[in-house]
């Protein structure tokens, strides 16, 4: 899942990003309201952490524009303003939650998880075919033989995206937007490399689940019965 942090305090934005990446989120940062609005309206994100006090464009204005376009994306307002009036205004304009500064970074992570329903089950796992993706252990496991293998952050995000879109063809552009986003270090051969890594790990655990390449279209996750 992908999160946008719109926060002009760069050190704080990086702190939030680093903490959320530990929970296997892909995170992008915008340090001013103008860039933040452009990115927030891109449709790439599952959740947006949005400061109210921003240079160029304020957070409430961004929130109003988000809600004109997207009723589903989750928005957590993040600001030094803790007065009741400010909280009520944020909720009135469509915020899902409100966290006043200063805050504990683990509390923010917990609120993000709650909004995105990451605790999909008591076991905190995602299933497709004969594989289970374990959020807590950062492993993928084959149900039939209980063999498992660790996955790194990008491998986890790639598998999660594929597993959340069963039998759907995902184009290269869709996968790059979702898994790499605004990562300037992403290069053209990154996707093929990570696809290869994940395919090898699925073979290692003896899974019948495979990532099929659909010529000129993209990739699809399938499980042979």
pLDDT computed for residue 121 by the predictor? 44
pLDDT the model gives residue 178: 83
Residue 29: pLDDT over 70? yes
What confidence tens digit (pLDDT) does each residue in 40-55 have?
Answer: 998 889 999 999 989 9
77 sits in which H/E element: strand 74-79
Q: Quick check: 26 pLDDT over 90?
A: no
More confident residue, 70 or 4: 4
| Average pLDDT of the chain, as a whole number | 87
From-to residues of CATH 3.40.50.2300 in the chain: 2-116
pLDDT exceeds cutoff 50 at 97: yes
Q: Considering the domain 2-116 in this protein, what is its CATH number?
A: 3.40.50.2300
125-223: what fold?
Arc Repressor Mutant, subunit A (1.10.10)
Res. 89: pLDDT tops 90? no
Residues 6+ away with beta carbon under 8 Å from 52: 58, 59, 60, 77, 78, 79, 81, 86, 90
Taking the alpha carbons of 159, 135, 183, 73 in that order, is the dihedral positive or negative?
positive
Q: How confident is the model at residue 124 (pLDDT cuts 50, 70, 90)?
A: confident
pLDDT above 60 for 108: yes
Q: Is 70 helix (H, G, I), strand (E, B) or coil?
A: coil
Q: Is the pLDDT of residue 122 over 50?
A: no
Residues 6+ apart with CB under 8 A from 53: 8, 59, 79, 80, 81
Q: What is the pLDDT of residues 152-206, one digit of tens each?
A: 988 998 999 999 888 789 998 888 888 887 655 555 578 889 999 999 999 999 9
Tell me the whole-structure pTM to 2 decimals. 0.70
Backbone angles phi, psi at 219, to 5 degrees: -135, 150
* DSSP-derived pairing of the beta strands 2-6 and 26-30: parallel
């Amino acid at each position: 899942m992908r999160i946008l942090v719109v926060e002009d305090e760069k050190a704080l934005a990086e702190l939030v990003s680093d903490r959320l990446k530990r929970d296997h989120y892909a995170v992008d940062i915008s340090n001013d309201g103008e860039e933040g609005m452009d990115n927030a309206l891109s449709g790439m994100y599952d959740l947006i952490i949005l400061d109210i006090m921003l240079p160029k464009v304020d957070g409430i204005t961004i929130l109003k524009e988000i809600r004109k376009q997207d009723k589903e994306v989750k928005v957590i307002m993040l600001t030094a303003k803790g007065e009741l009036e400010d909280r009520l205004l944020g909720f009135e304009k469509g915020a899902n939650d409100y966290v006043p500064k200063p805050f504990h970074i683990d509390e923010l992570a917990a609120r993000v998880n709650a909004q995105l329903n990451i605790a999909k089950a008591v076991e905190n796992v995602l299933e497709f075919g004969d594989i289970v993706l374990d959020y807590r252990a950062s492993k993928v496991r084959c149900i039939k033989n209980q063999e498992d293998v660790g996955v790194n952050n990008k491998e986890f995000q790639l598998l999660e995206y594929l597993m959340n879109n069963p039998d759907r063809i995902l184009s290269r552009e869709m996968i790059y937007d979702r898994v790499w986003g605004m990562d300037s270090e992403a290069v053209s051969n990154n996707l093929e490399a990570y696809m290869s890594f994940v395919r090898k790990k699925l073979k290692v655990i003896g899974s019948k689940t495979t990532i099929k390449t659909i010529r000129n279209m993209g990739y699809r996750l399938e499980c042979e019965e």
